[in-house]
Chain A
Amino acid sequence: MDWVRHLSAELDDPPEMVGGKAHGLVLLHRLGLPVPAGVVVTTEACRAFLRDGELPAGLVVELSATTLGQSVSVRSGAAVSMPGMMDTILDLRPTPDELAEAVRSVFASWDTPRARTYRTLHGIPHDLGTAVIVQRMVFGDRDDHSGSGVAFSRDPNTGENVPFGEVLFGHQGSDVVSGRSLTQSLSALADREPLVWRDLLDFLNRIEQHYRDACYVEFTYESGTLWLLQVRPGRFTGAAAIHLATALADSGEITREEALKRVSPHHLQHARTPRITSDADVIARGLGVCPGVAAGRVALTSDEAVRMAAEGPVVLVRPETSPDDICGLAAATGIVTARGGPASHAAVVARSMAKPAVVGVADLVVGTDSVAVPGHVVRAGEVVAIDGTSGVVVVGRPRVVTSGSDEDLRRLLGWADDVSGDRSARGEVERLRAAQAVLRER
């Protein structure tokens, strides 16, 4: 075949040809893990499309010859990750016409102005093109024993060796990622689907052993059977990266030298940001978009925030923010919104004011005199604290730490001094950099 490859353990084209997502699916095949049957249309076909303005001859015939079932998903997958930038088509009937149209739409989405901007920002060449993955649909909304989710093998906020993620019972994976529906903490799967949970833990473990690193997967389970749809290394940052690297070195998965290579000076900088300790009484989680800890009395409108701020720190809690909230945002010491992502209005304004902020707390309902999250009601005026790194919201004033004094960091920097041989008093970044310079020479 010229343009289409079967996804299997034998596929050995590089990511430049089949894209990063397909490359990950091939890895899952090699590990013997369950992946819905599928094919990948190469990036070369995309480049031909972008050059000629039409699908290359023979592509549709090749695609139509594959038998993937009554319904397929059609997803982009470039060599370099471009999350949320390109088209995905779910639950498509695999007729020649519909397949051609779907592949065309994904290819065309490579060249939208927004995708071009993203690539320029991230230094990704514009001529790479994207691959397209066509797979048998698995339905997270099939029945009571179906669902979708995302999972990290370890907690990306702390690096602790505890699976972390979100699950949505009875829904498709697209609903998890979009934030349109209310997800539950991944651990809810353990009670509701113990067999799926057991398989998931086993799969995460096997992927970790292969990467010798934390991993991230997207999954769907259909009528009690678990399928993996995407995999990549965890890419932890800050204190979590330091904890992970030292833990992997302690358990012998990687050497101390490798641990030093995996922690960047940026991670040290990050790790000094104040954090809420993990024993705090967490009532809700969202996405931390401006790091730091803020504690204060809850205000539910911007007017209230301005008024209450005269008497002490305020945490402004809103469904989402608009220009009308600028005064409230300015008066508050921390910000929480139910909606929005890392590029939402609230996130951009919070960062411009350097205020800790948590957005996208999907199960938060802002009422007239209280806010409700599952299991808790917090009245206006009650004290809450938020962590703009991990995205947690807690009641009261929790303990706050900076991991500058953290045991993991102390040990890692000790290893760094062992490598560099320099034990003079220097800053943390200098100690790490000196070791990394020596390791690069080896």
Chain B
Amino acid sequence: MVVLHALRCVGTSGLTRVASFTGLPESDVESELIDLAVAGLVTHHKGFGGWALTESGRAADAAATKAELESAGTRAALAEAFESFLVLNPELLELCTAWQIRSADGVVNDHTDTAYDARVLALFADLHARAVVVIAALAAAAPRFARYDARLSEALAHAQSGELDRLADTIDSFHAIWAELHEDLLATLGIARWTG
């Protein structure tokens, strides 16, 4: 279930991303994926060399997340916490943009102005502190959401120790994890990202 759902949230991807999403060792992830492939729920993507959900895998995941919420009786609580997430979402995206582009004249941030970078980084930390509260509310409704706290905290800690690309520029950046959390919430609550 957790590996299947990881592919639903991160999309076609290799073992490393699924392992990072789930917190499981890569070898466990691989053996689970092979079982899922036998069951016809995932397939190995030839072009990219990664794993992808099949249509029935997508349906199985949707059914499983739905059942999870129904047995816990926490759909309303999750939906309410999702509203709090949506308040933070534009601010996070604006921060990522400010990290990439200096507002004055829209110039690319070349990270030579350490004072500017420090200011944006401090704002990420401030938003993170508020995000932790929202994620706790999400996890109270569905415990697996707690994993996002660990992942976001780790990305932020790396950025604070000098790995600047962990905010918005890598596949395991704060932004990338945040986008997976957004996708996870949409998938779990059965909300379409777009229509048509």
Contacts and interface: CB of A to CB of B under 8 A. Distances in A.
A442 interface: no
B176 to A, nearest CB: 7
B48 A122 contact: no
B98 A303 contact: no
A311 B48 CA distance: 14
Contact of B123 (A120, A270, A303): A120
A326 B193 CA distance: 16
Contacts of A325: 11
Interface in B77-114: 87-88, 90-91, 93-98, 100-101, 103-108
Nearest to B9: A323
B148 to A, nearest CB: 13
Contacts of B52: 303
A322 B47 CA distance: 19
B91 A113 contact: yes
Interface in B1-29: 9-13
Q: Interface size bucket, A side? A: 35 or more
Nearest to A319: B194
Given A345-B179, A348-B96, A120 B196 contact: no
Contact of B103 (A122, A264, A339, A349): A122
A352 B100 contact: yes
A326 B120 contact: no
Nearest to B50: A327
A52 interface: no
A323 B93 contact: no
A114 B194 CA distance: 25
A343 interface: yes
B126 interface: yes
Contact of A121 (B50, B123, B165, B169): B123
A157 interface: no
B105 A237 contact: yes
Contacts of B10: 323-324, 326
Given A117-B126, A237-B106, A302 B11 contact: yes
A266 B103 CA distance: 11
A238 B107 CA distance: 10
B130 A113 contact: yes
Contact of A347 (B97, B103, B108, B169): B97
B119 interface: yes
Contact of A352 (B91, B123, B170): B170
A62 B127 CA distance: 39
A23 B109 CA distance: 32
Contacts of A320: 193-194
Contacts of B193: 320, 322
B47 A121 contact: no
A270 B105 contact: yes
B12 A343 contact: no
State the main secondary structure of chain A at its contact with B.
Answer: helix
Which bucket holds chain B's interface residue count?
A: 35 or more
Interface in A6-24: none
Given A266-B107, A319-B194, A118 B94 contact: yes
B188 interface: no
Interface string B113-130: 000000110110011001
B11 A326 contact: yes
Given A266-B105, A344-B93, A351-B101, A303 B47 contact: yes
A344 B87 CA distance: 15
A322 to B, nearest CB: 5
B9 A348 contact: no
Interface in B165-196: 165, 168-171, 173, 175-176, 179-180, 182-183, 193-194, 196
Interface string A111-126: 0011001101110000
A117 B128 CA distance: 12
Nearest to A331: B48
A321 to B, nearest CB: 9
Given A266-B107, A352-B168, A343 B96 contact: yes
A323 B183 contact: yes
B173 A352 contact: yes
A117 B176 contact: no
B119 A121 contact: yes
B127 A117 contact: yes
A349 B130 CA distance: 23
A310 interface: yes
Given A323-B9, A326-B171, A327-B12, A348 B100 contact: yes
A307 interface: yes
B97 A348 contact: yes
A95 interface: no
Given A322-B179, A324-B10, A327-B13, 16 more contacts: A114-B87, A114-B91, A118-B94, A120-B122, A121-B123, A237-B105, A306-B47, A323-B176, A324-B11, A326-B11, A343-B93, A343-B97, A351-B97, A351-B108, A352-B165, A352-B168
12 contacts: A113-B130, A237-B105, A266-B104, A266-B107, A267-B105, A323-B11, A326-B171, A343-B97, A345-B93, A348-B96, A352-B100, A352-B168
Interface of A: 113-114, 117-118, 120-122, 237-238, 264, 266-267, 269-270, 302-303, 306-307, 310, 319-320, 322-327, 331, 339, 342-345, 347-349, 351-352, 365
